Structure 1
Amino acid sequence: MKLTLLFRSNNARFVLNIDKQKLLLALLAISGLFLVSSRSTHSPEENIARIQHAKTGFVLQAEEVSLLKTTTEQRMTGVMLKLADMQNQIQRLDALGSRLVEQAMLNPDEFSFNQMPSMGGPLDSSSVEIQVQDELLSKITSMLEKIQNKAQELNILESIMLSDHIREESRVEGKPISTGWLSSYYGIRKDPFSGLPAMHKGLDFAGKEGEPVVATGAGIITWSGSRYGYGELVEIDHGDGLVTRYGHNKVLNVKIGDVVTKGQTIAEMGNTGRSTGAHVHYEVIRKGKQQDPLPYVYRKSS
């Protein structure tokens, strides 16, 4: 293929023959010039706009990253302070547990708060998913385990001491009065009203009317009111089949169902019922039978 261009005028004639290869090169050159010319018209504005847009995006991303960094640092600071507080609590629990073990006179080898507890058991082959990704999480997990172990040890120690305290509190001992004197013993005596021999199933403690009458052991009030012969009576169940009675009171300070502690004032001394003067008739009943209260009155504390 060949392209022939003919130019003619009055004075001259010009003929130009262009083959296929030259024609393609010319077309490519012209297209390139048009493209370059077109891009050179719009490229600077577009490039500037793209650069400004990217710059704005980077600024926003930098602000977000900076805010995230600040927030993370604040949270990490809070976590580290919390970890320090937890560590202090663990140390206080250790010190408290050691003192309680010493005061309770328990075997320190069984409650060693300064060492990890002895543990064991058969191997469980079932899978357990545990994910600890960094040192901080490992410290938190370790502290939580320590706190749980300390809490279990303190719960056991509390149960032991509470049980010992309950036994000590419910142990019946001492006099049922704060001031006064023993005026009549347990056993056969001359009845003050009939003058005949009669069994006296308790102890009488004389004193001034209105003086406090106290519980000789912790327990539950099972009677508070008038009863024939006793006048105004208080009865306390101390558990394990042991009951105490306090008769001839003037005023009762407790009601049925109340829980009382050892030494608590339960009534005021009086002269109600079958009585010749202000005193407290004190009985100790074990499994339904009156006992001589004297051994309980002078019982030595354990």
Structure 2
Amino acid sequence: MHFIITDAWLAKSRAVHLSGTKLVVAFVGLSFSLMLLAAGLYHWVFLKGAREGWPVIGTLVKLVVKDEFEQRDRFMRENLDAMARKLGEMQAKMVQLESLGERVSGLAGVNPADIKVPPGRGGALVGGRPLSMEELQATLADLDALTVERTDLLTVIESRLLDQKLRTMMLPTQQPVKAGHLGSAFGWRIDPFTGRSALHTGLDFQAEPGTSILAAAGGVVVTQEVHPAYGNMVEIDHGNNLITRYAHASRVWVKVGDVIKRGQRIAEVGTTGRSTGPHLHFEVLVQGVPQDPHRFLAAGRDLAAPQVAMQAGPSSLRHAGHR
């Protein structure tokens, strides 16, 4: 494309040649300049009209702002409703946990009032009207406080139940010989060596030589010796001045100072010492005084039954010990 520019005053002419590429570049540059000019003019007019409250522009601004606020409010309301439903579910679970904690505390012998836990609370969290952010925050604070209180209660219950379990594990309620059957019982009998009446201070379990002798409860071995009357003998201290004695063993598998678990093999049945045949002589001593081991073993059988343990609770051992 050719352009001829003529100057009448100077009587001169000038020819301008534009190729296709230059023409496209010029057109794009002109279009971009016009777009920038229009955008700047629109922005200036819109801002000026919004600030000065021009009728048409002011109305448009109000509509845009109103729609934006409505969308934001709808989004927040949907999230608040979802949070309210979640809080309602959490509160229902806390009520269930509170009820469970009260029942378990009764089994553990813990009074919830002693650790300042408030009485049970219930009711629905989400009512007939939407909750505000302030109400949700207040409910969250209450729920957090209740969680702390429940945690304190359950911690005390756990400690109490663990203490009870340890006490139970330290009571000699495990059968010391599984394969044997009961011979002489605790009490007065005719002594097989002298033929006179004498106090039999334990239980005799008749069994084959080499039968495993098991610890009736956990404890520490305090005696392991060869006794003139008891033969190979082991004594285990279970704490609280309670000791179990295992006599006439053929072989002993523990030594003084060993920590023993309930049901652990400690020796083997034999006929050493003052004995007429292979058997285990089993004694329970409280403060050095022989007790009837049958009462402890019977209490262990009672505790092994889940229904009896749930109904009797911690008192089952005391009850069994006085039969």
Question: Normalised by the size of structure 2, how large is the TM-score?
Answer: 0.50
1:96 aligns with 2:100: yes
Task: Give 2:225's aligned residue.
Answer: 227
- Per the TM alignment, residue 45 of structure 1 is displaced from its structure 2 partner at its CA by 5.5
Deviation at 1:227, TM superposition (A): 2.5
Q: By how many angstroms is 1:139 displaced?
A: 1.3
What residue is the counterpart of 2:184 in the other structure?
183
2:39 is matched with 48
CA distance in 1 between partners of 2:279 and 2:44 (Å): 102
Once the two structures are superposed, residues 212-265 of structure 1 have per-residue CA deviations (whole angstroms, 9 ceiling, x without a partner) of 54444x4323259x63236665533221111112231657599922443xxx35
* Counterpart residue number, 2:157: 157
Q: Distance in 2 between matches of 1:251 and 1:74?
A: 74
Question: 1:1-302 counterparts in 2 under 5 A?
Answer: 46=37, 48-49=39-40, 51=42, 79-80=83-84, 83-101=87-105, 103=107, 114-115=120-121, 134-172=134-172, 176-178=176-178, 179-183=180-184, 202-209=202-209, 211=211, 213-216=213-216, 218-222=217-221, 227-229=225-227, 233-247=233-247, 248=249, 252=253, 256-260=258-262, 264=263, 266-267=265-266, 269-271=268-270, 273-274=272-273, 276-287=276-287, 289=288, 291-293=290-292, 296=295, 301=317, 302=319
Alpha-carbon separation, structure 1, partners of 2:200 and 2:36: 120
Q: Secondary structure at the match of 2:99?
A: helix
Secondary structure of 1:239's partner? Answer: coil
Instruction: Go from structure 1 to structure 2 and tell me whether the alpha carbon gap of 1:276 and 1:51 turns closer, same or farther (over 3 Å shift).
Output: farther
| Separation in structure 1 between the aligned mates of residue 45 and residue 219 of structure 2, nearest angstrom | 82
Q: Is the 8 A contact 1:98 1:112 kept in 2?
A: no
In structure 2, distance between residues paired with 1:112 and 1:212: 53
Q: Per the alignment, in what secondary structure is the counterpart of residue 177 of structure 1?
A: coil
Q: Distance in 1 between matches of 2:214 and 2:71?
A: 69
| CA distance in structure 2 between the aligned counterparts of 1:68 and 1:204, rounded to whole angstroms | 84
Percent of counterpart pairs with the same letter? 23
CA shift in 2, pair 1:214/1:114, >3 Å: farther
Aligned residue type for 2:238: H
Which letter maps to 1:291?
P
Q: Distance in 1 between matches of 2:235 and 2:45?
A: 90
Which one-letter code corresponds to 1:219 in the other structure? G
Output the amino acid matched with 2:259: G
Q: Distance in 2 between matches of 1:85 and 1:253?
A: 56
Give the deviation of 1:185 after TM superposition.
5.4
Q: Cα offset for 1:44?
A: 9.4
Q: In the alignment, what sits opposite 2:58?
A: none
Q: CA deviation at 1:48?
A: 2.6
Given that 1:219 and 1:239 are in contact with CA atoms closer than 8 Å, whether structure 2 keeps it comes out as: no
SS in 2 for 1:183: coil
Opposite residue 49 of structure 1, the aligned amino acid is G
TM-score (norm 1): 0.52
Shift of 1:269: 4.5
Q: How many residues align?
A: 232
8 Å contact 1:185–1:203 — kept in the other structure? yes
CA root-mean-square deviation: 5.3
